[in-house]
Amino acid sequence: MTHDTFQRRLRYAMVGGGRDAFIGAVHRKAIALDGQVELVAGALSSSPEKAKASGRDLFLADDRNHGDWRALLDDELKRPADERIDFVSIVTPNHVHFPVAHAFVEAGFHVVCDKPLVHTGDQADALVEAVARKGTVFGVTYNYTGYPMVRQAREMVRSGELGEIRKVVVEYNQGWLATRLEGEGNKQAAWRSDPARSGAAGAIGDIGSHAENLVATVTGLEIESLCADLSSMVAGRALDDDGSVLLRFRGGTRGVLIASQINTGLENDLRLRVSGSLGTLVWRQERPSELVHLPLDGPKRVLTRGAPWLCEAAQRASRLPAGHPEGFIEAFANVYGGVAADIRARLSGVQVDPLAADYPHVKDGARGVRFIERTVASAHSEAKWTVW
């Protein structure tokens, strides 16, 4: 890496996330938060006209504002190496993830992809193999891993502060699909409830994958088998909108995972409880700056973001002093910050700092796809229990 590279921002392109797309704007705001990365190119919609209009909204140069992702990739490959993007961010509906991600990895580009990673285990395996062969960075935006108090919980569990982990309960409850919004012109509901675009699962793929990843990130536990009950509670809905899963982890830990989008009145109620032989931790996404610790041999205590006694990973993930709210955008930014740190280290040929490059990788995304597949299989099985 030349000295000049150290003096510039990383450059990225975005696929998807144009006008009227919720999550694309979230990604762009998060990426911009630390001032280290800039958007220089894009193919922002499946409609060429809308893609180019969206690019103009974001002041993309005409020659880097493309009508589809293939044109974007072709253009980047024609450019001199020192003008190309450093990575691509994929924020499309699920069915587009695999072809875009696989093509960019094969072309040697670093990738960040929204979750769930892809539709099938075979696609996930193909991506894992391609990333290993090409040696590229591949991040998956399980953004809840970016919260400081999630990283504090991870440190406390992994360091043995809770003792032997016995029980894990994770719930992700929303109410926005309590009515059949997909029949009323709601774009987000339409693609998320469409098997062709969303994949084999609805709620269990959309938010259940976040819940699975949160458990894996904090505890490091591996699922041995599961037993799932998936339902479509709203009449006429093609995919599940409510799911309950019993989990058995290697080593004997037991767990429960709930993912539901028909809990009327609930907003984004993601919560995790980890109980061990020496204590319990409780975290809620709607109160993300607090981590409740209930030790076996002492009083309940509430740890708060920004406190000086938190672990280094939690400290690094905080931008503001204690008491100043940080949330969803900042957590996303922490994931992107980890990806950027990894890319910069590789460009410079130095060993990456694991605390700096703290983000979910392609293998985390692949595990999430296997979780979705096995959950759906269990729900359709008479035997129910499905071995991992």
- Convert the pLDDT of each residue in 366-377 to its tens digit: 999 999 999 999
Q: How many residues can be counted in the chain?
A: 388
Domain 149-320+368-387 CATH superfamily: Dihydrodipicolinate Reductase; domain 2 (3.30.360.10)
Q: CB neighbours of 147 closer than 8 A, spacing ≥ 6?
A: 283, 285, 288, 317, 331, 334
What pLDDT is recorded for position 4? 42
One-letter-per-residue 3-state SS of 36-68: CEEEEEEECCCCHHHHHHHHHHCCCCHHHECCC
What pLDDT is recorded for position 145? 98
The verdict on whether omega for the bond into residue 116 sits within 30 degrees of 0, i.e. cis, is: yes
pLDDT in tens, 82-132: 999 999 999 999 999 999 999 999 999 999 999 999 999 999 999 999 999
Q: What is the mean pLDDT of residues 246-268?
A: 98
pLDDT in tens, 151-170: 999 999 999 999 999 999 99
Q: Give the residue from 331, 317, 333 showing the smallest Cα distance to 144.
A: 331
What pLDDT is recorded for position 1? 34
Where on the phi/psi map is residue 134: left (φ > 0), alpha (ψ -120 to 50), or beta?
A: alpha
Q: CATH number of the domain at 3-144+333-360, please?
A: 3.40.50.720
Q: Where are the domains of the chain?
A: 3-144+333-360, 149-320+368-387
Q: To the nearest whole percent, how much of the chain has pLDDT over 90?
A: 94
- C-alpha 161/C-alpha 148 separation (Å) is 18
pTM value is 0.95
What pLDDT is recorded for position 388? 76
Q: What is the DSSP letter of 92?
A: S
Q: What is the mean pLDDT of residues 292-313?
A: 97
Q: What is the mean pLDDT of residues 211-233?
A: 97
Does the structure show a pLDDT above 90 at 387?
Answer: no
* Residue 3 confidence class, pLDDT cut points 50, 70, 90: very low
HSE-up (13 A, CA, CB side) for residue 356: 10
